[in-house]
Chain A
Amino acid sequence: MIEFTDVHKWFGSLHVLNDISLTVTKGEVVVVCGRSGSGKSTLIRCINGLEPFQKGRLVVDGFDLGSSSVRLRELRMEVGFVFQSFNLYPHKTALENVTIAPIHVRGLSKAEAEVRGRALLEKVGLGDRMQNYPHQLSGGQQQRVAIARSLCMQPKIMLFDEPTSALDPEMINEVLEVMVSLAREGMTMMVVTHEMGFARKVADRVIFMDRGAIVETADPETFFTAAKSERTRDFLSKVLHH
């Protein structure tokens, strides 16, 4: 589904992705962690073409992101992206936020899109908030709308960039629950997060990044108990004990 081969990226002279090779298969849930500035966001933003890269090969759902003729729009229909800061459209209601892309990008009728959108908002527990504007919703509710918005395009892959980092602690769980159920339904997911509980529960693999490189890849059990790299263990001791 997602295949990085020796991918490099620079921001000017800063080497933000250093020789990334990584394969994510259909239905897999991969959690990415690492210190601030290690390149986690950059890594997953490459997957839907929000960031270009300079060297190597990246193929996502058959689309070759390195080629100049890649049809990004078609790729993006298949890849949902959930941002740390939600980025809901402030001038649209929750339901409109969810249905606007299916209508204008997938070409669904308004009625079809609304059937889909309502079902998804129900599913994320916001059946009674469909007509609210984003500013009338709590952070946790906004992020659940954002997840529903991505799902409404019926993507094959879902990417999450620290989806709970901007939330008050009491709202983190309501968002994680939605993500857990999505993972259990077999969605292919890449999730940048420091929520190690989530990683333990549903991740097939956990990746640790440092200075643009993937330093450690392991199943959650091994990752948390027997990480090979010193830097990973150091990081874990800080994350797990705060």
Chain B
Amino acid sequence: MFWLQLNRVVGYWPVLLKGLGMTVALSVLALLIGSVIGFALGILRAGPNRTLSRAVGLYVDFFRGTPFLLQVFIVFFILPQVGIELSAFTAGVVALSNVAGCFIGEIVAAGIQSVPAGQKEAAAASGFTRAQQMRLIVLPQAVRVVTPSLVGQFVLLIKDSSVVSAIGLLDLTRSGWMIVQNVPNGLLVFGIVGLGYFVICYPLIWLSRRMERRGQAPVL
């Protein structure tokens, strides 16, 4: 019985593969866009402009403090009512990138703040512009400090991407739903789906742990 079911699930490999592809595509896109957003938010958050920093803080806290599923619904169902029509895929990417940007922003801000004030002073004393201080001196050091946390965040992002199956995207989780209609063994089907996530996430978890052990902290 089990072997028969396993055989049938495996027979659905094109669906699983398609789901896996969608999950990877969503995650990679959100990772790229989210990193751009995250660095921008992080720089503003750690910046000298109090008002801007607070505004960014509020924005970030809002998205960190509300369920991601809700955010997906807002993007997909509510934005169209104000005239912004998005495909399920775009809506998924938008919601995921945004929430990833918020988490990455907090991490980047913490990294920037961990760079000793003397570094900025030395750079300022050499005549660098603020932008140069950030780009040449502060960010390279901040990135080293936060890389393990960033990689850890990417793992969360991949897992969070499963939420967008709720708006009908055929990602890895949803492909599981589809198969389980025909092969009534949830444990088996979702076991295999889970394995799919694990296969993508584990290398990242391993990488993050390894970097943390090797101490990516700046050498002072």
Chain B interface, number of residues (Cβ within 8 angstroms)? 21
Tally of contacts, chain A with chain B, CB under 8 A: 61
- CB pair A48–B220 under 8 Å, yes or no, is no
Contact between B121 and A105, CB atoms less than 8 A apart: no
| Residue interface bits A83-125, CB-to-B below 8 A is 1, else 0 | 1010111110000000011001100000000000000000000
Interface residues on A, range: 20 to 34
- Check if A90 sits within 8 Å of B136, measured CB to CB: no
Q: How far is the CB of B220 from the nearest CB of chain A, in Å? A: 5
Judged by a CB distance under 8 angstroms, whether B159 is at the interface is no
Nearest CB in chain A: distance from B116 CB, A: 8
- Tell which of A50, A91, A153 touches B121, judged by Cβ atoms closer than 8 Å: A50
Q: Enumerate chain B residues within 8 angstroms of A201, measured Cβ to Cβ.
A: none
Is B66 interfacial (CB-CB < 8 Å)?
no
Q: Which of A89, A91, A105, A150 touches B144 (beta carbons < 8 Å)? A: A91
Does B140 sit at the interface, judged by CB under 8 A? yes
Instruction: Determine if B119 and A87 form an interchain contact, defined as CB atoms under 8 angstroms apart.
Output: yes
Asked whether, in the complex, the Cβ of B118 is within 8 Å of the Cβ of A85, the reply is: yes
Contact of B140 among A91, A133, A134 (CB under 8 A): A91
Contact with A along B116-131 (1 / 0, CB 8 A): 1011011111111100
Rounded to whole angstroms, the CA-CA distance of A50 and B132 in the bound complex is: 17
B73-115 near A? 1/0 per residue, CB < 8 Å: 0000000000000000000000000000000000000000000
In the complex, whether A15 has a CB less than 8 A from a CB of chain B is no
Interface pick from A26-34, A73-81, A185-193, A232-240: A73-81
Binding site of B, secondary structure by majority: helix, strand, loop or mixed?
helix
Assess whether B4 is interfacial by the CB under 8 Å rule: no
A239 to B162, CA, bound (A): 69
Does B199 sit within 8 A of A, measured CB to CB? no
A91-B218, A133-B219, A135-B220 known; A101+B128 contact, CB < 8 A: yes
Please give me the residue from chain A that is nearest to B144 by CB atom.
A91
For residue A88, which residues in chain B have a CB less than 8 angstroms away from its CB?
122
- In the bound complex, how far is the Cα of B121 from the Cα of A89, in angstroms? 11
Q: What are the residues of chain B within 8 A of A105 when measuring CB–CB?
A: 126-128, 132
Chain B min CB distance to A162 (Å):
13
CB distance from B115 to the nearest CB of A (A): 10
Most chain A C-beta atoms within 10 Å of own C-beta, residue among B119, B126, B136, B220: B126
- Smallest Cβ distance from A160 to chain B, in angstroms? 12
Q: Which residue of B lies closest to A100 (CB)?
A: B136
* Shortest beta-carbon distance from A117 to chain B in Å: 13
Whether A77 lies near B220 (C-beta < 8 A) is: no
State the CA gap A79–B124 with chains docked (Å).
11
- A76, B126: Cβ atoms under 8 Å? yes
Q: Contacts of A80 on B, CB cut-off 8 Å?
A: 125
* CB–CB A83/B127 < 8 A: no
Among B118, B125, B137, B141, contact of A76 (Cβ-Cβ < 8 Å): B125
Instruction: With both chains docked as a complex, state the minimum distance between the C-beta of A44 and any C-beta of chain B, in angstroms.
Output: 11
Residues in A lying within 8 Å of B, measured CB to CB:
48, 50, 73-74, 76-77, 79-81, 83, 85, 87-91, 100-101, 104-105, 133-135, 149-150, 153
Interface residue ranges, B against A (CB under 8 Å): 116, 118-119, 121-129, 132, 136-137, 140-141, 144, 218-220
Q: List 8 A-B contacts (CB under 8 A).
A: A73-B127, A77-B127, A79-B125, A81-B122, A87-B119, A88-B122, A90-B220, A104-B132
